[in-house]
Amino acid sequence: MTSPETITGTLAADGRFSLMAEALQATGLDAVLAGKGPYTVCAPTDEAFRLLPKETLAGLMADPKGQLFRVLQYHIMFGNLSCSTIKKLNFPKTRLGITVEITEKGGQVIFGGATVTIPDIACLNGVIHGIDGVVIPR
C-alpha cells in the first residue's frame, strides 16, 4: 500500500525515522524529498543513528550543509526502486554523484554495508527502505 505522503512526510510520521527526518530538515533535503521525484531513500533508522559514535553523530549534526548533506545524499537514489530491483543494481549512482555497492547476502539486501531491515515503504514520490546503519561515503 502506498503512503498518502511524500518521502519527507512519511519519514516524519513514522516514529522509526525521526532522526533521519531531523537530519533531512537540517540540510534542506526535506524539501527535495517532498518534491516530485521519484526517489529511493535508504533511510537509517533511529537505532542506526544511535549506533554511530557520539562524536561522529555530533560532528555530522554540527555541519548540516557540509558533511551531513554529503552523507544524506549518499542514501538517495533516483527512481522508484523496490528492494527486489536495487539488489540487482550492484553499483547504482546516488544523488551525491558517486556509486554505492549493493549486494545480497542470505536473502538480505545490503546497501553500502548496512542491511535493509524495513523494505519497500511506498510513498507518493518514491520508496523508502529502512537500513540498520548510517553509510558514510569515502
Would 2 be classed as within a structural domain? no
Would 137 be classed as within a structural domain? no
Would 136 be classed as within a structural domain? no
pLDDT digits (tens, 9 = 90+) for 94-134: 999 999 999 999 999 999 999 999 999 999 999 999 999 99
CATH code at 70?
A: 2.30.180.10
User: What pLDDT sits at residue 85?
Assistant: 95
CA distances from 133 to 44, 50, 81, 106 (A): 6, 9, 19, 18
Set of cell numbers at residue 81 = 526502486
CA distance linking residue 42 with residue 62, whole number of Å: 22
Secondary structure letter of residue 132 according to DSSP? S
User: What pLDDT sits at residue 7?
Assistant: 97
Would 46 be classed as within a structural domain? yes
Q: Can the peptide bond before residue 38 be classed as cis, meaning omega within 30 degrees of 0?
A: yes
Closest CA to 131 of 104, 103, 110: 110
Number of structural domains the chain divides into:
1
Would 39 be classed as within a structural domain? yes
Would 83 be classed as within a structural domain? yes
Would 138 be classed as within a structural domain? no
8 A C-beta contact, residue 20 and residue 130: no
Would 100 be classed as within a structural domain? yes
What's the predicted TM-score (pTM) here? 0.95
Spell out the per-residue pLDDT of the chain, length 138, in tens: 566 899 999 999 999 999 999 999 999 999 999 999 999 999 999 999 999 999 999 999 999 999 999 999 999 999 999 999 999 998 999 999 999 999 999 999 999 999 999 999 999 999 999 999 999 998
Neighbours of 57 (CB within 10 A): 17
Set of cell numbers at residue 87 = 539488489
User: What pLDDT sits at residue 4?
Assistant: 81
Provide the domain limits for residue 50: 7-131
User: What pLDDT sits at residue 3?
Assistant: 65
CA distance linking residue 22 with residue 106, whole number of Å: 32
